[in-house]
Amino acid sequence: MVRKIICALDTGNLEEAISMTRRLSSCVGAFKIGHALTLPHGLEVIDRLQDAGAKRIFLDLKFHDIPNSVALAVREAARHNVWMLTLHTSGGPAMLDAAVQEARAAENEVNLVGVSVLTSLDQHTLTDRLGVSRTIEEHMVQLSTMAIDCGLDGVVCSPQEIKALREAIGHRGMIVTPGIRAAAGEQHDQRRVGTAKQALADGADYLVIGRALTHCDDIDGALAGFGFEGVTA
């Protein structure tokens, strides 16, 4: 099993997601789900995917609310045995602290990872539309370091910021990287992308790959195209 790969199930169709899980469960280390599946089917979708072979579920709902509301959300996610979940670091220290306290009190281990700048954003949008004067890298380092200081287990970043974040947080937290593309792969709606080989070399712990796996007929060929032959953890 290539445990560094988190497969994104980007579909709202539960039966399709179950089929993808059954087909890919022996090839990847975890499955990421988001609003497309949880809004129509509730968190019970996690149980269905686990029954289909998903040993680890990454719940990517990017919680961002007042501290008490986020703590309650983390508690509910923990009840469904999620392996990892996301929070927006811009919610601030009080929100992050509340999430950490709830996660540590859970019976099952839940890894909290912070999201600072979405991979769909570029510098123009961050500066001119959102009013953030820092560069993307500076902004991510600032928010990600704060998140690790608050006790989060890791952070999310694009391939382009891995080196800077690894240098900033050292080995205090994991780095989860979306925006992974094969050399000839399409970018889709993401702006800051990179290859699996370079992301791992720069210090990423987990790589999120979606359509390139879920929509391919030759999974072994797709994995080889990403350079994953023999890359396990």
pLDDT in tens, 195-232: 999 999 999 999 999 998 999 888 888 888 787 764 43
Structural domain boundaries, residue 165: 2-225
231 within domain boundaries: no
25 within domain boundaries: yes
For residue 63, pLDDT beyond 80: yes
Helix and strand element counts for the chain (H, E): 11, 8
19 within domain boundaries: yes
230 within domain boundaries: no
86-137: per-residue pLDDT in tens?
999 999 999 999 999 999 999 999 999 999 999 889 999 999 999 999 999 9
Take residue 160 and report the two structure tokens written for it.
């382009």
Give the pairing of strands 206-209 and 174-177: parallel
Q: Which residues contact 121 (CB under 8 A, 6 or more apart)?
A: 130, 136, 191
In the beta sheet, which residues pair with residue 156? Answer: 115, 176
Q: CA 81 to CA 97: how far, in whole Å? A: 20
Q: CA 89 to CA 146: how far, in whole Å? A: 8
161-200: per-residue pLDDT in tens?
999 999 999 999 999 999 897 755 454 554 567 899 999 9
Instruction: With CA atoms as reference, report the closest residue to 88 among 116, 60, 61.
Output: 116
105 within domain boundaries: yes
- The amino acid occupying position 186 is E
The whole-number pLDDT of residue 186 equals 55
Number of domains the chain contains: 1
Backbone angles phi, psi at 40, to 5 degrees: -80, -25
Backbone angles phi, psi at 4, to 5 degrees: -80, -15
CATH number at residue 109: 3.20.20.70
232 within domain boundaries: no
Within 10 A of 149 (CB to CB), how many other CB atoms are there?
Answer: 13
Per the residue annotation, which of 32, 55, 62, 197 is the catalytic one?
A: 62
Instruction: With CA atoms as reference, report the closest residue to 9 among 35, 42, 31.
Output: 31
Would you call 55 a catalytic residue per the annotation?
A: no
91 within domain boundaries: yes
209 within domain boundaries: yes
> Do residues 207 and 29 make contact, with C-beta atoms less than 8 angstroms apart?
no
Backbone angles phi, psi at 116, to 5 degrees: -110, -55
